[in-house]
């Protein structure tokens, strides 16, 4: 696995944390790391990329500091830097078009301190054609306590499983030598709400058994392709809540995002949205469909 790992940097503490996470992932994959700083007014905009000597001092410093931080930790890693002359969202999406992975901090400069996820990270995760990992700054609400430790958690829709998402999660677990927790959240059928009152425990148990069988069927193919990965099948009531609850102590949370043929409307489903805002681990958003 040699596709480049790209990390967006903007000089913020969150982007430095993301660059370090990306460096560790690049080493796992045996891939080079490319640090990208995107801003539309770095030069006169004549070319798509700026020569290092032509960049304003702040942009040079942003790239150099991020590269120095990564090289100090991983001197043998191939690290490249680029400045992209474009708006951050468009520039990062384009820069990572041929990459294997794009890594971002949760919130860069200009974000509100109370927000866990910035507008750039949210927009890029909703548009990128390659998987995007959003990493929170250490010490922020929902930040990982021990990066790289724990299980890989993947959200699975057992009724319509997506092979691209599952294969990404299985490979991520294999690279880490970690166990994979496959979480299938389910909701009670609407008819129970219409009836009112408490739902009989026996009926809930029957439904849960059915959901568990569907999850096992959804995982059969990926498990056969990745026999080296130990899997825990986890069925929980509550689609988004179950995934967020499972994220505590995880190394990575993996969710899917359906590619949209049109430019308008929301780009992230409720599960991906909930994971990005509330999961206690880095979150990988994998496009599919």
Residues 176 and 257 in one domain: yes
Nearest residue to 247 (alpha-carbon basis) of 198, 211, 281, 289:
281
Residue at 204 is within a domain: yes
* Cβ contact 96:125 at 8 Å: no
- Residue-level pLDDT at 139: 44
- CATH number at 248 reads 3.40.50.12370
Q: Taking the model in full, what pTM does it have? A: 0.86
Instruction: Show the domain range for 120.
Output: 5-135
Q: Which of 81, 85, 91, 89 is nearest to 32 (CA)?
A: 81
**Residue 143: inside a domain:** no
| DSSP reduced 3-state for 116 | coil
Please report whether residue 267 resides in a domain.
Answer: yes
Q: In the structure, what pLDDT confidence band is assigned to residue 24 with cuts at 50, 70 and 90? A: very high
CATH of residue 97: 3.40.50.620
Report the residue count for the chain: 289
Structural domain tally of the chain? 2
Is the pLDDT at 157 greater than 90, yes or no?
Answer: yes
242 and 203 in one domain?
yes
Q: What is the rounded average pLDDT of the residues 30-45?
A: 79
pLDDT in tens, 243-284: 999 999 999 999 999 987 655 445 788 899 999 999 989 999
- Of 135, 164, 199, the residue at which a domain comes to its end is 135
- Average pLDDT for residues 42-54, to the nearest whole number? 51
Pair 169, 106 in one domain: no
Residues 156 and 284 in one domain: yes
Do residues 117 and 167 both lie within one domain?
Answer: no
Query: Which of 135, 169, 194 is the endpoint of a domain?
Result: 135
For residues 130 and 195, membership in a common domain is answered with no
Of 110 and 156, the one with more pLDDT: 156
Question: Which of 135, 162, 193 is the last residue before a domain boundary?
Answer: 135
Comparison of pLDDT for 164 and 84, the residue scoring more: 164
The closest of 118, 162, 150 to 280, measured between CA atoms, is 150
Residue range 103-108: average pLDDT?
Answer: 81
162 lies in the same domain as 119: no
The whole-angstrom separation of Cα 29 and Cα 4 is 9
**Does 142 reside within a domain?**
no
Angle (nearest 5°) at CA 227 between 162 and 215 = 40
**CB 14 within 8 Å of CB 136:** yes
In this structure, the answer to whether residues 85 and 190 fall within a common structural domain is: no
Are 160 and 267 part of one and the same domain? yes
Asked if the structure places residue 144 within a domain, the reply is no
- Same domain, yes or no, for 159 and 199? yes
């Amino acid at each position: 696995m040699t596709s480049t790992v790209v990390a967006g940097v903007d000089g913020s503490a969150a982007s430095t944390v993301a660059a370090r996470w990306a460096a560790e992932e690049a080493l796992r994959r045996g891939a080079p790391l490319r640090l990208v700083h995107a801003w539309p007014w770095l030069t006169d905009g004549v070319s798509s990329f700026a020569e290092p000597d032509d960049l304003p001092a702040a942009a040079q410093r942003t790239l150099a500091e991020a590269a120095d931080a990564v090289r100090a930790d991983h001197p043998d890693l191939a690290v490249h830097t680029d400045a992209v002359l474009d708006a951050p969202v468009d520039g990062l999406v384009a820069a990572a078009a041929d990459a294997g992975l794009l890594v971002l901090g949760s919130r860069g400069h200009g974000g509100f301190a109370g927000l866990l996820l910035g507008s750039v990270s949210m927009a890029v995760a909703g548009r990128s054609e390659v998987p995007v990992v959003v990493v929170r700054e250490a010490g922020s609400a929902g930040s990982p306590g021990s990066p790289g430790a724990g299980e890989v958690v993947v959200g699975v829709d057992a009724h319509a499983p997506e092979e691209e998402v599952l294969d990404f999660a299985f490979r991520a677990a294999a690279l880490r030598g970690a166990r994979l927790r496959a979480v299938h959240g389910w909701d009670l059928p609407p008819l129970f709400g219409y009836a009112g009152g408490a739902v009989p425990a026996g009926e809930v148990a029957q439904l849960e058994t059915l959901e568990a069988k569907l999850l096992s069927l959804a995982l059969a193919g990926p498990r056969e392709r990745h026999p080296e990965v130990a899997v825990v099948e986890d069925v929980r009531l509550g689609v988004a809540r179950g995934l967020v609850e499972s994220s505590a102590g995880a190394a990575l949370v993996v969710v899917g995002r359906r590619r949209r043929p049109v430019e308008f409307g929301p780009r992230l489903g409720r599960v991906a949205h909930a994971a990005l805002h509330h999961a206690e681990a880095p979150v990988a958003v994998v496009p599919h469909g």
